[in-house]
Amino acid sequence: MATIIAIDGPAGSGKSSVSKEVARRLGFGYLDTGAAYRALAWAVAEGRVSRPVAEDENFDGFDYAISLNPDDFWVRSFGVDITDAIRLPRIAESVSAVASVPAVRKFMKELTRTLVAQSQLAGVVVEGRDITTVVAPDAPVRLLLTASEEIRLERRAKELSPEDLATLRKQVLERDKSDSKVVDFMKPAEGVDLVDTTNLDFEQSVQAVLSIIREQL
């Protein structure tokens, strides 16, 4: 079974880019768990899957595949490459509603564990919101990446195409607020190390994470 490095954090904390680079340097796989929630929101929007409700027991009809290779990242659903489509604002706007359905969270937990188990890799850096607490509470390394609200918004603004900063602020903060009603990813759970990247650049953030991993593995 692959060694799991569990990394949680809010939007713009640097979680995705740092996790991907850490995976590269360790020769590990990289698993973006938010991509599956986004893909499900996409499949619902496309009418390929019915809107999930609390009573749903399985999502057998949801076709999903993701690359764990940090140098060749792609996401597919129903034979469609949705790597870029899942980053569209309309998906970001609808994903929290999908992610708040308990049956969806249960399904995603199993999906994530299966993807790691089947990866045949020495290790996988798994990033999301509930990896340190729900998906892999026994992982040998568990980290929460945070940054001040101001810095997180600034980083997101740089990442996205020309979007009005006020709209972006509203979107990011509202999504965090709605997501954090379901899982707490703003405070580290017991035994989880906190890495605050507010005053760290990208390389310093990568080094901070790598040094905790080296200490703990």
Residues that bind ligand DC (CB under 6 A): 11, 33-34, 37-38, 95-96, 99, 128-131, 175, 179
| 21 versus 179: smaller Cβ distance to ligand DC | 179
Smallest separation, CB 116 to ligand DC (Å): 13
Count of CA atoms in the C-beta half-sphere (13 A) of 71: 5
Cβ distance to ligand DC smaller for residue 53 or 215: 53
Nearest approach in angstroms of CB 95 to ligand DC is: 4
Contacts of 202 (CB under 8 A, 6+ apart): 14, 17, 18, 21
> Measured from the CB of residue 73, what is the shortest distance to ligand DC in angstroms?
12
3-state secondary structure of 153: helix
Which of 37, 107 has the CB closer to ligand DC?
Answer: 37
- Spatial neighbors of 58 by CB under 8 A, at least 6 apart, are 107
What letter would DSSP give residue 189? P
* Beta-carbon contacts of residue 156 (< 8 Å; ≥ 6 apart): 11, 12, 168, 172
Nearer to ligand DC, 48 or 87 (CB): 87
Between 29 and 128, CB nearer to ligand DC: 128
Please state, in angstroms and as integers, the Cα–Cα distance from residue 51 to each residue in 42, 47, 97, 105, following that order.
11, 8, 10, 14
Q: Which is closer to ligand DC, CB of 28 or CB of 185? A: 185
Closest approach, Cβ 74 to ligand DC, in A, equals: 15
Cα-atom radius of gyration of the chain, to the nearest Å?
Answer: 16
User: Beta strand 80-81 with 75-77: parallel, antiparallel or unpaired?
Assistant: antiparallel
